[in-house]
Amino acid sequence: MLGIASYIHRFLNVALHFLKLVQNREVGWLTVDRKTGTYRREQQTIWKKFKLLLFFNPIMEWIDRTHLLRLWTHEENVAAGRREGESKSHWQIKGFIEFYGIDMSEYEPSDPESYPTFEDFFTRKHTQNARPIYAETEPSKAVVAADSRVVVYPTVEKAKALWVKGSDFTIANLIKDDQVAEIWDNGAVASFRLSPQDYHRYHSPVEGKVKWYKSIPGDYFQVDPVALHSSVNILTENARSCLCIESEVFGNVLFVAIGATDVGTVK
């Protein structure tokens, strides 16, 4: 009887913990806060999590060989982006701030009513001292390019083995240039993945000069790990902006900003 009671107690603990996570919308990917060392899950709407699991799994990838369902989600994302640029989208701002617990004192303007549309709010900017640059006077230190979840791999092959499962992911396919990509064939990879509540602006990770720039049109699929771990080639199908930064310390650094459902157009 004690054994059965122990199993029931353990089951109830797990069930209650799961319900608490769902109540707090903590159903996203498990991440670690590097400052505190604590683990927590990203906040997501339950509906968004359900759609990710529905569209990016081996069964759906086998069924949807024509990609019509994913094409439909792409069109929906584009339409949603247009709506968020209209003045009537302003009503979403307050609920979004409350849902994600966003500290508006870190942004300017800090008054939510100052943003005409949800798109204006989504691309809000930080106050001057909100994100001090690490070792600002030391050019040998690369910095995180945005508020994000960061993963770093020593080679492209390691990144493909552990993070990006799309079969077409190569640097050449990423920038659509076989010849130029040769210098980064198996270079180190740092990925900065933004969540919806994050500051959606990005900055140069290194000091240097822009050597070249190109914009590549494409889709706006989600870049959640559920999608990245599927066989769908998210990173080489999504719209993106690519540039090469010529750095005295690091050499030629490739920076690619990839559009997604919650971001849309990359500027």
- pLDDT tens per residue across span 211-245: 999 999 887 777 766 666 666 677 888 889 999 99
* pLDDT bucket at 15, cuts 50 / 70 / 90: very low
The overall longest dimension of the chain from CA atoms, in Å, is 72
Q: Name the 3-class secondary structure at 95.
A: helix
* pLDDT bucket at 14, cuts 50 / 70 / 90: very low
With b for 16 or more beta-carbon neighbours within 10 A and e for fewer, the 37-48 pattern comes to eeeeebbbeeeb
With b for 16 or more beta-carbon neighbours within 10 A and e for fewer, the 140-176 pattern comes to eebebbbbebebebeebeebbeebbbbeebbbbbbbe
List pLDDT tens digits, range 187-213. Answer: 999 999 888 888 888 899 999 999 999
Residue-level pLDDT at 2:
52
**How much is the average pLDDT of 87-98?**
92
* pLDDT bucket at 74, cuts 50 / 70 / 90: low
What's the chain's average pLDDT? 80
DSSP string, 59-90: HHHHH-TT-HHHHHHHHHHHHHHHHTTSGGGG
Rounded distance, CA 168 to CA 105, Å? 42
With b for 16 or more beta-carbon neighbours within 10 A and e for fewer, the 91-106 pattern comes to ebbeeeeeeeebeeee
Residue-level pLDDT at 152:
92
- Tokens 């990144």 sit on residue: 159
Percentage with pLDDT > 70 across the chain: 69
Is 170's pLDDT higher than 80? yes
Rounded distance, CA 267 to CA 59, Å? 35
Q: Please give the residue that has the higher pLDDT: either 167 or 129.
A: 129
DSSP string, 149-208: EEEEESSHHHHHHHT---TT--HHHHHT-HHHHGGGTT--EEEEEPPTTS------SSS-
Q: What is the pTM of this model?
A: 0.75
